[in-house]
Amino acid sequence: IPRRQWSLQDFEIGKPLGKGKFGRVYLAREVKSKYIVALKVIFKEQIEKYRLHHQLRREMEIQTGLRHPNVLRLYGWFHDNERIYLILEYAHGGELYRELRKSGYLSEKRAATYIASLAQALAYCHEKDVIHRDIKPENLLLDHEGRLKIADFGWSVQSRSKRHTMCGTLDYLAPEMVENKAHDYAVDNWTLGVLCYEFLYGVPPFEAESQTDTFRRIMKVDLSFPSTPQVSAEAKNLISRLLVKDSSKRLSLQKIMEHPWIMKNADFMDTCSKLQL
Ligand SMILES: COc1ccc(/C=N/Nc2[nH]nc(C)c2C(=O)Nc2cccc(NC(C)=O)c2)cc1
């Protein structure tokens, strides 16, 4: 869709797809091109009330600039007095979360395919200095072919140009700055470990009665594998190499894509990533 000034008159609004955090999402069709999109309607008063103006602006700038088969496209936006409208790619399958709840847990092939897609998408985002920081099943959508799409960059950050200073000399950078930098990117790798566990067992690894207990289990990396469902040793190996406290010791995105469990089970349907390896 060519970039131009959009307005509500350009769209025929269809059924509501669901409620987001700050508004609703509707199926819509752009009148001239007949192109089907998802129109996310956000109420300005909600944004002002929670002072999320800068964050929403950041989400829009970031997501507009990203082009990857596993990242949901933001084609553009417009607003009227009360609302902001985001023109988003329509993913027919909806939230991966629903599929996970319906089937309880996923097959190793499906889980590995999703993890491989996420690793590719995150490698692309990290190349563009974007850290998502909030990858969870609710923020993952599926298209009509079951291909995973990372959505909702509301909590992502464009890492400041520390990278460039990083290319210079480290002499002047305090250790926590360097550690912080590494830590920022690796937070998404940790999350891949959490998601891989949840895809295979149907529950997240550090689930607990209270937030405090979950926090304690995370800080201790209190990881254990239930005896059912049956999960391969390779899958457990990948999870154990991602859920590592020291962020610099987590498996890199590239290493994830080369991991035996991924190589054996992932269906690289959409990208020729095997050739890249
Ligand atoms: C309730 O059953 C559903 C089945 C499929 C959908 C498809 N949503 N597809 C989308 N494409 N681009 C965007 C953005 C969306 C979207 O936000 N969907 C959405 C929003 C809020 C809740 C849900 N719920 C579920 C179950 O998918 C989906 C939405 C709802």
pLDDT in tens, 196-217: 999 999 999 998 888 888 888 8
Residues belonging to the chain: 277
Which pLDDT does position 228 carry in this prediction? 95
Q: Which residue has the tokens 């669901």?
A: 18
Which pLDDT does position 163 carry in this prediction? 38
From 19, 25, 140, 153, the mutation candidate for ligand 1 (largest count of ligand atoms within 8 A of CB) is 25
**Cα of 245 from ligand 1 centre, angstroms:** 34
Which pLDDT does position 152 carry in this prediction? 72
Which pLDDT does position 174 carry in this prediction? 47
Asked if residue 72 lies in contact with residue 86, where contact means CB atoms within 8 angstroms, the answer is: no
Q: DSSP code of 252?
A: P
pLDDT in tens, 73-96: 999 999 999 999 999 999 999 999
Residues of the chain with pLDDT under 50: 160-174, 176-178, 182, 273-277
- Strands of 140-142's sheet in order across: 94-95, 140-142, 148-150
Q: Is the CB–ligand 1 distance for residue 86 below 6 Å? A: no
Task: For residue 158, give every residue at least 6 positions away whose Cβ sits within 8 Å of its Cβ, in sequence order, or none.
Answer: 58, 61, 62, 129, 130
Which of the residues are catalytic?
134
**Cα of 143 from ligand 1 centre, angstroms:** 10
b/e map 16-30, b = 16+ CB within 10 Å? ebeebebbebbbbbb
Q: Is the CB–ligand 1 distance for residue 91 below 6 Å? A: yes
Q: What is the DSSP string of 19-78?
A: E-SSEEEEEEEETTT--EEEEEEEEHHHHHHTT-HHHHHHHHHHHHH---TTB--EEEEE
Peptide bond into 229 cis (omega under 30): yes
What's the pTM value of the predicted model, to 2 decimals? Answer: 0.86
Within 10 angstroms of residue 221's Cβ, the number of other Cβ atoms is 15
231: left (phi over 0), alpha (psi -120 to 50) or beta: beta
Nearest Cα to Cα of residue 151 among 71, 210, 229, 270: 71
